[in-house]
Structure 1
Amino acid sequence: MQHSDNPVPDHAVLIVNAHSRKGEALCGEAKARLEAAGITLIASHAVKDPADLDGIVAGAVRDGAPMVIVGGGDGSLARLVRHVAGTECVFAVLPLGTANSFARTLGLPLDLAGAVQTIASGRRRRIDLGRIGEHYFVNAAALGLSPMIGDTVPHKLKRYLGRVGYLGWAIWCLTRFRPFRLTVEDAAGEHRTWASEVRIFNGRYHGGVELIETTDVDSGDLVIQAVTGRSLLRLAFDWYAKVVRLKSRSANTVEFRGEALGLRTRPRQKISIDGECLAKTPVTVRVAQGAVEVVVPSAPSIA
């Protein structure tokens, strides 16, 4: 892990996506807890229209904020981290979404009090980002069933039922999905197979589930993991095996690793980037090494 000896800034701009599942209810509490923990808030924003988020974060970075604290789900974090990438501004996370995969990868507490305490007493860690075209991702991009779910799931279902509602919608989508032909190009050449889902990992989590154990957000590369074959039951079993952590949980997948990987499908597939459909095959996925500093829990003290 690439930890920094520099302290976490004690001045920050707070930006909460009030459209996220918990954002509106917790925005005021987050502000109060941060100030009580010793964080001076240069400004705070409860943003009800997600279209306004980019401008507010970009403005905070441009004005020299030493840290931006973003409260929201994985989609918000992936969308906004590009404004911090390559700058001296620290990116801190309040996990207020449904799956909170990025927070899980970083080992952050998922409750508001714990997340605030981490910001107040944690450490800085420099991490990689994945990139597809102009779009960065903090956790994972995916094609196959995941984009179908993300592109069609009713917002109110996610907002009020959380992961249970998301799972129910996933089962509904599974009955309507069709496998596809996949070609991956890495340093060893081209690899072809049938696939029902493809996950492109920067971190270990996707949909709130740890789906891969062979990478991390500072590994310096990306991993493409494909669920092979044409059976949708095989895809369902793969998710089940990884959720309950069966010994055979990797039996139905193949992995490709590199700093840049080519990806083609037949037919073309939409690509969800941390939960939002923003691209379509064919693409080249790349790693942006050490692109941003985040706040993580302090290492345990040694007696």
Structure 2
Amino acid sequence: MRWGRAMLVYNRKAGKEKAGQLGEVVAALAGEVGELTLVQTTEPGDGEKICRDRGSDHDLLLVLGGDGTVHECINGAAEAAGPPEIAILPGGTCNDFARTLGLPMQVGRAAEEILAGRVRDTDVGKVNGRIFTNFVGIGLITDTSENIDSDQKERMGKLSYFLSTLRTLRQAEPFRFRLTHEEGVIDSEAVMILVANGRSLGTAKLPFAGEGVQDGLLDVLIVREAGLSLAWQVINGGDLTDYRESGGIIEYIRTPSLRIDTDEPKGIDSDGEIYLQTPAEISVVPSKLRFFYGPNADTNGIEDEDAGIDAMPSGG
């Protein structure tokens, strides 16, 4: 047996609507796990508590769900004494962190990739004492997440994020901020600040340098003006060179830590979950947890398996 004890945590929605996925995971791992425990979350906070209290009792933690479920479970696993190796099984709408890890978007295939053993020490981020894997956002990103129609999301998936982006752009207003990092202070206005550890946002590859979740740095994007063309470029990982060279509409820095102060408290979107407010103390935690990677992951690559409208970030 490769793993003596493994625990699979899945959200209630996944259990009701995607029961077949559980069977695919069990079938893929049956010969490699001595004891596999399935645990269903039933209310917000369950995933974090389960992974914090029981994570260290297992060699392998599997998380089946979207970015919100991953966010909960990773916050719990990071506090466990002796965290297990972690495998993400993409079961949400965007699955951005799974994309950063280069995993297939089909749960069964992702489970099979665990057997290849591509497990690596991986950076996570921390904002106001809470862990994030993929990104932290203030301004337009937060507003877009809040404007998503839940019924529309059920019917339309990723397209619902695009529609929410269009609605939010019409109402976007700049906010005053002060960003302090290792090399200086930026005191200005913006419509959006994005701090990324991962390499995918709303299923699209982000246009950042470096090695993402293995470089010990965070990528910070400051967007000072709202507009459909610019938003589309950012959202879809386009070339931002012209914007960076045209009067500072976009500013891009890389840093291991930063602080963001705003004139008035602003909501913070952390991996699609909004429950924190500015001021924000943000830092990278290098090589904090061990995750399984997909076959196409080169620490900078993202497997892009499905086409369609790419939009803003999702919860799970």
TM-score for the superposition, normalised by structure 2 = 0.82
Q: 1: CA distance between counterparts of 2:108 and 2:124?
A: 27
Counterpart check, 1:91 vs 2:113:
no
For the 8 Å contact 1:262–1:283, the answer to whether it is kept is yes
Give the Å deviation of 1:173: 2.2
TM-score for the superposition, normalised by structure 1 = 0.86
In structure 1, stretches of 5+ residues that fail to align are 1-6
| Identity value in percent | 24
Tell me the equivalent position of 1:53.
47
Tell me the equivalent position of 1:119.
114
For the 8 Å contact 1:16–1:27, the answer to whether it is kept is no
Counterpart check, 1:208 vs 2:200:
no
For the 8 Å contact 1:180–1:265, the answer to whether it is kept is yes
Counterpart check, 1:29 vs 2:25:
no
Q: 1: CA distance between counterparts of 2:61 and 2:23?
A: 13
For the 8 Å contact 1:144–1:270, the answer to whether it is kept is yes
- The one-character-per-residue Cα deviations of 1:207-235 (angstroms, maximum 9, x if unpaired) are 22222321400111212111123xx21xx
Matches within 5 A, 1:1-303: 9=3, 11-19=5-13, 24-37=16-29, 38-40=31-33, 41-62=35-56, 64-85=57-78, 87-215=82-210, 216-229=212-225, 232-233=226-227, 236-243=228-235, 245-248=237-240, 251=243, 252-298=249-295
Give the Å deviation of 1:150: 1.9
For the 8 Å contact 1:14–1:31, the answer to whether it is kept is no
Counterpart residue type for residue 112 of structure 1: V
Q: What's the secondary structure of 1:75's corresponding residue?
A: helix
Tell which deviates more after alignment, 172-181 or 30-39: 30-39
Q: What's the secondary structure of 2:178's corresponding residue?
A: strand
Q: 2: CA distance between counterparts of 1:10 and 1:253?
A: 49
Per the alignment, do residues 84 and 51 of structure 1 end up closer, same or farther by CA in structure 2, a change over 3 Å counting?
A: closer
Q: What's the secondary structure of 2:219's corresponding residue?
A: strand
Q: 1: CA distance between counterparts of 2:90 and 2:38?
A: 17
Give the Å deviation of 1:267: 3.3
Q: What's the secondary structure of 1:181's corresponding residue?
A: strand
RMSD (Å), alpha carbons: 2.4
Q: 2: CA distance between counterparts of 1:247 and 1:259?
A: 24
Q: What's the secondary structure of 2:113's corresponding residue?
A: helix
Q: 1: CA distance between counterparts of 2:54 and 2:142?
A: 31
